[in-house]
Amino acid sequence: MLGRTMRRVQAGNPEGFSLIELLIVVAIILIIAAIAIPSLLRARIAANESSAVESLRTIGGAEVTFQSTYPTVGYAATLAALGPGTGNTSCPSGGPTSTAACLIDTVLASATAAASAKSGYYFTNPVTTATGSVNVTYEMDAMPALLGQTGVRGFCTDSDGVIHFDMPAAVQGSVSSCAGQNALQ
């Protein structure tokens, strides 16, 4: 019986797989990839959007802390003022100031353009409304660095602390236009 089995194995194709068998395997792999890649991209966009919302919450908390710490300034007019200051990677040795409050990290403070985006989103510098020399309100936008690839929704928040979204993403630029968008649940 063992001899009969050995003869059948030896009678098979000694050169390996045929071209048609290899093409079938490649086709199956391509079909699986076509199904998986869009899901992967959607998951990446969802993660980037979640990161942008959390970053806006962080910025909102930092703005409130900044306003109470520096009441003669009000809300910060730049992200750099909330972070370690313009061009700095660490807090000043003399401690926080109104131009370098060290309330947010350097990565978030410098994510003000698509080229320096944090998790696929960049943040506009706050649009502030001043009464005299005190900034009494602010509005902040989070925009995808590459619309459709890193995110599809734009987010904004203002001094009331509510985060709003806009789809498709568009810079709001004022407290009233941000407040007119859909509130994030």
CB contact at 8 A, 83 and 91? no
d(CA 99, CA 73): 10
Buried residues in 156-176 as b, exposed as e (16+ CB within 10 A): bbbbeeebbbbeebeebeebe
* Residue 11: pLDDT over 60: no
Q: Where are the domains of the chain?
A: 18-69+110-183
Residue 180 — pLDDT band, cuts 50, 70, 90?
A: confident
The pLDDT, as a whole number, for residue 100 is 92
pTM, to two decimals = 0.78
- Contact assessment for residue 129 and residue 77, using Cβ atoms and an 8 Å cutoff: no
Q: In whole angstroms, give the CA distance from residue 82 to residue 63.
A: 7
